[in-house]
Every structure is written in C-alpha cells, then in structure tokens.
Structure 1
Amino acid sequence: MKIFAIAAAVAAALGISAQAADVNPVMVVKTAASPDTIKFLVMTTAPDELKPDPENRRQLTLLPGQTEAVLSPGETDEEPLHYLLYQQTPRGMRNVGDIYRAPGQTITIDLSTNPASVSGSPLMDNINTARESLAPGMNAISEAVKARDEEAYNKAVEQTRKAAVDFIRSNPSNPGSIELMNLLSSDEINVAEMIKPEAKEDINGPMYDYYLNRLKAEQQRKIQAEKVAPGKPAPDFTLPDADGKMVSLSSLKGKYVMLDFWGSWCGWCIKGIPQMKEQYERLKDKVYFVSIACNDSKQAWTAALEKYEMPWIQLWSDPDTPAAESVMTLYAVEGFPTKFIIGPDGNIVNKVVGEDPSFYDLFDNLK
C-alpha cells in the first residue's frame, strides 16, 4: 500500500490524478522454477500492427529458482498497445505470445500451465477462449513434429484450421475470433466476414482489416499466379528508384528484362548478389536488370544500396502499400528471391523461386 501511496503522490505533483496514474504492473510472467536463468524480451507496437518497433524493447529476467517476473509501466504503456513476448532459448528467440493491454491493466502470462494461460482483461479472456479451441490441433502438430510425421502434421494443421473456422462461425461477436483469422485460407474470406462489428470494438479490432486484407491479397495472388505464367504478358507497374524517379516496366523496351524480387533482410538474396554482379557485366548489353526491394523500409533499402553497390536499376516497393495493390501480389510473389525473365515482346519467359546459381544459364538459350 505504501508504494501505491508514493506513486499517487508523485502523480499528484505532476498534475495527474491518482486515479489516472498507471501504477499497476504492465505484465507478470510466471513460470515453473528452473535451475537456469530465464530471459524474456518484451516488444510493443500499435494495436493495428504486427511488426514491433525494434528500438522499443525491454528485458525481463528470472534468476534460478524464481517463478515470477514483473514489468513495470513506462511512458509507452500510457496508450493501448499490442505486446509481443519472446523467450530467449539456445536456438534463438521464441515467440511466447501476443498480448493486448489497455492502460491500468495487469496482464498475467502463466507459462507453468499447458497450454499457457493469459489473463487480466476481458479481451485476453476472450482471446484465451479462442486459442483454447485450437488446443487439440496444436498438440497434434507438436506430436507430429516430434515424430517427423509429415502426413500427421498435415492432418493436424487441417484440424487446427477447421477448429478456427468452427469457432469463428459459432462466436462471431467474440473479439477472440479476430485472432483466429490468421489461420484461415483465402477460400474462407466468407468466414472472416461473418465476424460482427461489436467484435471489432476492442483493442485488437484494427487487426480485423489487416487479416482481411491479407486474405484478399492471398486470393489475388492465386488468381495472379495463373496470369504470370510463362507465355503470359508481364503486368506493367511503376515504382520509384533511389532518386525518387518513377520507373515503369513498359519503359524498358528493346531488351530482355530480369526482374529480381528481393529484400535486404533476405539472407539468400544477399548471398546471390556477387553472382548477380558478374552476370550483369556479362549480360547488360541484352538484358535490363531490375531489382525490386520488398518488405523493406526506405531507410533499410537505401542503406543496402549503399552497402552492396548494385549498378543496375533499383526500385522500391513501399511496404505500406495495401497488400492487394502491391507489386508482389501483382506478380504472385510468395518466396524470396523470385526472379522473372521477360522477353522484348513483353511476355514472361520464365520464373524461378529461390537462389539458383543456374538461373542465368537460361539467358544463354535466348536469342
């Protein structure tokens, strides 16, 4: 009680009412006692985003024997936030869970139970209920992975997807249904559209549009995949280069075009740059090389251009472009790198997904 009194006094001195002061812990993480030190990383983002701000990170540490870690409120916790909790393991950071919290709430994540439970707000209770509906399928997935049984794994994935569909259909007013939309396929947009307006009124409500747009983009990619097969006309697009000049595919005439969908975050893409430089020098008289950076911030993209010094046409696909309108959807890109060869007539000649050193041999057979 003394701690809360001090916090209230400080709030009053700052002109903040004691009622408004967020003196409650943000998060309590519970685990079973361990002989080892356990470290967690907490990152936050806006409620309508999945990608956290890497600059805004906090660490929780449980020393050997400790079973509870507490995250105290900071300035960023004064707004409703989407929290992402990661546990440090020998294999890297493991995503423990996504948590939504309003100011003043204390969210408790109990990792000592199986499955883990999250409590502390009506929203997280609803999300818990939704996630619990998936438990049989998720447990079956874990068992299949341990057994390295691909057939059992595929069945378990389908079981989990069906459980998500059933929950949404039965609970269209539950905001927890929004959390299960990421398990739907593009053939189930009608299921997503069953979710009622009242389910979108809580902190996670903005995620409804995010997931729905993603499903529509996936559906569009399936349609586009048939349109970007060899022999089909290459869809035109216009994107900015590093100087801000807008470049259209249709402006590149008289030569073959090699479209390279890549990202500075993509290890295989970076690994392929030295060979691409060699092949550019060999083929530049008859082939336009065009690299399109995807899922990169403008800052990360320009930094990569400076670092890797790629002398061919460099374009940027703004990651804030709605998925259904992006060049990645236009070309049905699902993996990186993805490369297309486009003929002087504007038709697609070939498509290769992944870093394949033999890709450039395809040009030797072109007239």
Structure 2
Amino acid sequence: MKRLLTTILSVAFCIAVSAQGTCVINGVIDDVKTADGKKVKKVYLTRTNEYGLAETVAEAKVKKGKYTFKRELAQDEPVLMYVITGFGEGEGIEVFVEPGEVAVNTASAATPCATIIAGTPTNDTYSEYKKIIGEGVSAAEKCADESARSKEAIKSLSQRIRFLIDHNASPMTPLEIERYLLQQLTPSYADQMLKSVSATLYDHPYYLSLRNKVLASALKVGNEVPDITLPMLGGEKKHLNDLRGKYVVLSFWANGCEKSAAVLAELKNVYNVIKDNDEFVFLCFALENDAAAWKAAVESNGTNVEGWLNACDGMGADSPAAKLFGVDKAPRIILIEPEGRAVSLDQEVEELQMRIEQIMEGDLYYLDQEE
C-alpha cells in the first residue's frame, strides 16, 4: 500500500510539473571523481545563445552525489538543449529542458558523456538517437579494414537520417541535422532534409537556424538569402526578414578600415539620391567588437539618418551574420530584392547606383539573370 501511494504521488507530481511549465532535473552521480581526480562539488546549467556563446543560467551543489535544477518555463518557451557542466574542461551532459521531470544518471564524473537521461519526450527521443550513434561506432570499431569501416559509417549515417525523418516533429531533429549531418550532405540533400522537418517546428529556433545554414550553403544571385539578427543602434533587435517588401542595400563594414570608410562615403552619395524613395532601405552591419567604438563611428560616418539602419552584434569578424553571407573581409555590399533574394552579392558602389536607378525606372533587370 505504501509503495502504491508513493507511486501515485510521484505520478501526480510529474503531471503537476508538466502542467505548470516547470522542468525539474534530478541528477545522480555514483562516482563524483572527475578524470583529473577532483570531486564534483557543484554543477552548472548552461545554454548556447544565438551567437554561439555559452551562458550559465543556474548552478547547483552536489550533495551525496545528488543535485537538482528547477527551471520555470515561460508559456510557449521552445524546447532547447542545455549542457550540465562542472566535470572538467570540455566535459558536459546534454539535456533538453522542457516541462516535466528529467532523471540524469551518471555512473562516473570522469565519463559524463556516458550519462543516461530519461523522463521527458525530447530527452527520451534523443537517448534513442544516441543509441543508434553508439551502435554505429561500436560496429565500426570491430571492422578489420578501412573499407568495412566505411560501409558501417554509411550504414550508420543512413540509420540516423531515417530516425530523424521518422521523428521530424522533435526539436532535436533540426538541431542534429545542423550539428552533425549538414557538413556531410550536398546542398540539394540538405534542402531535402530541411523540407522533411515538420511544419510544427517552423518557428522553432533550431529550425530557423538550420534553414539559415541551408540557405547560406546555396547562397548565390537569384537565391533567397539567410535571415540575420540585427542588434540595432537604439538597443532593439530586428531581423533581416523584417525588411521584406523593400530593396535592401546591405553593407558589411569594419571600423578603422580605410576602404570601408571610403565605400560608406560613396554609399552616402547614393543614399542622398534615393532617400525619399521608400522602396529602398540602407543597412550597415559593422564587424566590430566594441559597442562604444561602433556607435561613435556611426555618428562620425553620418549614417545615423532616417532610412539608414545600423546594426552590430559585437562579434567582430566572428559575427554569425557575416559567416552566413560568406563575408571574410570588409567592405562588402549586397543588394537584396523585396522577396528576399540576392540581386548581387559583391557590388561596387558605382554599379550599385546604376542598378538602383534601373530599378527605380521599372527595369527589373535581375529577373533575367541566370541563377
């Protein structure tokens, strides 16, 4: 009777947690010694932000090999992967945070990658997926020669792809496609994998990120451009897709770069000619690490004017926006048409002005360009 009551209370707790939008992570470490012999006394819950940087969102003390994290989730908060760290540099436990109770069982702090996780839908699905990966690695290790190992690798890859397609509504699917499969696929196959993802995930950060990577891999004149995050001068955040319906003159530039300064000066001349035409918008994206230096440069460059947007994510040359557009040096000017397709990907200002004048006169020359 006592055992039955305990079971009922446990089930009731799990249902309540799920209904309240709360994620409870209960961790157990059988052996708290890490690979370097130190004892794990505290663990940290971290996540990766949109710029690829790790952020610690919570910490918990490890008492008698146990720890707990409790996350209150906002309504409609997307299911995201977090990492439990504190086991040594580069070591961590991947766990999806979603409503419910998650059991995280680690046999040894020296090998946190072997942790068993269960309890919520996405974590259970991810555990199944990792089992397929593990079986593939094990089978490859038993092969006697390279040819046999290659066959096992192809077999394992096929099984992983099949699993992801079968679980196309799981948030882990677009994440895993981007993290581990995209680099092994041709642009055409990558696009097929993107299209295989369930429409229920179209607003999920992992789907949007995957879509951006697929668009970036096929970036050329006539194709749709990636959507980039635009941290604006005034502190608000926009996205490139917010500018759909207008022609966008996107320029990547670097503070302190003489060529960038010269190009911006030329762009101002173009701006002065068409500033009253609301079909066009100028967007400067600075590859700058120092926010204060960026803001000062915007003022000195004279681009803080109506109809000219200024953005900078503070990542400098490592900016995800620059990487999505294949920008390895500044300046770079990109012209985008109202439906979000590239008209040009690297254009001199003189030609840009000529092309803009053509468009203003109704000559949509780019529609006849070969892809």
- TM-score, normalising length from structure 2? 0.49
- TM-score, normalising length from structure 1? 0.49
